[in-house]
Amino acid sequence: MENTGSKYYKVSDAVSVVRLEEYNYDSAVRALTDALMPIGGLDFVKPGMKVVIKANLVSAMKPSQAATTHPVLLCALVTLLREKGAEVVIGDSPGGLYNSAFLSRIYNVTGMHETEKFGAELNRDFSQKEAVFPEGKVLKSFLYTGYLDKADVIINFCKLKSHGMMGMSCGAKNMFGTVPGVTKPEYHFRFPDYDDFADMITDLDEYFHPVLTIADAVVGMEGNGPTAGTPRKIGCILASKSPHTLDYVAADMLGFSKEELPILMSAYRRGLIPENVSEIKVYGSLEGLKTEDFERVVERSSLLFSGKGKSRLRNALSSVLKLILRTRPEPKKDKCVGCGICVGICPAKAIRKVKGKIKIDRKKCIRCFCCQEFCPKSAIVVHRTAVARIFGSGSKNEKAK
């Protein structure tokens, strides 16, 4: 696949925001049309073009659980693409086996077969390819899902959610699904530092360079995201040519600063987003969409504690604060059924079963939150230290777990 990644923030990377209160097909078609029009619409689509929609199909969860891209929105986008004469393939690689049996169950539970009625094809090519990307900051080579090679263009259709490791999952993070599921834990282990992991995500976005990013923020997820949180009505969809500018506006809606989100900071260091979110052109009104009580876990409250200055005292203070403020995955014994999925998926091999329940070795844990993300019983939560809860007690954005 040819890499055409951008290098600098462009004023043309505007973000369009359109209200959508519920998942109704006719309303979704209108909302998507209105959202795409000010940023160029689908003018890039030519008859016979193969368009891959990279959805968020993180797990076998029903649309009502707000963890995956809603099928109604995908059906609406497929309709608009088919009207342009495009061939449409919908795909993703969730955590777990990347094969027909595993993905078939996810397609069934997430409602993806509805899109076939509107002319879409669900990906059935489970080949894997290796990319060489010398321009990447940390990701010089990697495995990716081979079906993407057949795409003329990629549309990134994400879900707006809280995220245990990265704080927020939206446009840029959704491209981690280009990595085959069983390989994902390896990348967590290769990049345990949050900044390095964020740079890895940005490298993926720069390599694949989706031509359009759309966010399902009709009903998002707050709290113990990206799979075990609580549905939260937000009431809109967002669209942009850049996943990073879209993420910046979405983060601002939820009350995050860019300094709190490592992926946004990675984009900022590369010049892919501006200093202030106010510098991004927004089509549509954000009035009534911004929230002050979005439930999230925050451990990186400011660059003040980043330790990236020259002061030894500041660096020492940063190390201490990171230690006492950092979150960790915490098992809930009353919910754990001892299925062992977390044991198998843990990249650091830090989890074992003891008397039918899981136990986490804190010395080995790299806090990637894979166990929390893929636990089918929501038996692992993001735990904040007592000191972190005290630090966050004055913020309307933070709720203690």
Question: Tokens in use for 150?
Answer: 């057949």
| pLDDT reported for residue 355 | 82
Contact 400, 389 (CB under 8 A): yes
| pLDDT reported for residue 385 | 57
Q: What does 239-277 look like in DSSP terms, one character per residue?
A: EES-HHHHHHHHHHHHT--GGG-HHHHHHHHTTSS-SSG
Which residue pairs, CB below 8 angstroms and at least 24 apart, start in 123-127?
Answer: 123/52, 123/89, 123/90, 123/91, 123/92, 123/147, 124/100, 125/150, 126/98, 126/99, 126/100
Q: Which CATH superfamily is domain 15-283 in?
A: LarA, N-terminal domain (3.40.50.11440)
CATH no. for 303-391: 3.30.70.20
| pLDDT reported for residue 386 | 54
Q: With a cut of 70, say whether residue 3 has pLDDT above it.
A: no
Task: Compute the Cα dihedral for 265, 201, 254, 380 and give only its sign.
Answer: negative
Task: Convert the pLDDT of each residue in 289-331 to its tens digit.
Answer: 999 899 986 554 433 344 444 566 655 655 555 555 567 788 8
| pLDDT reported for residue 384 | 59
Task: Convert the pLDDT of each residue in 64-103 to its tens digit.
Answer: 999 999 999 999 999 999 999 999 999 999 988 899 999 9
Task: Convert the pLDDT of each residue in 205-250 to its tens digit.
Answer: 999 999 999 999 999 999 989 998 999 999 999 999 999 999 999 9
The domains of the chain are located at 15-283, 303-391
Q: Which residues of 346-371 are buried (b: 16+ CB within 10 A; e: fewer)?
A: bbbebbeeeeeebebeeeebbbbbbb
Q: What percent of the chain has pLDDT over 90?
A: 65
pTM across the whole model: 0.84
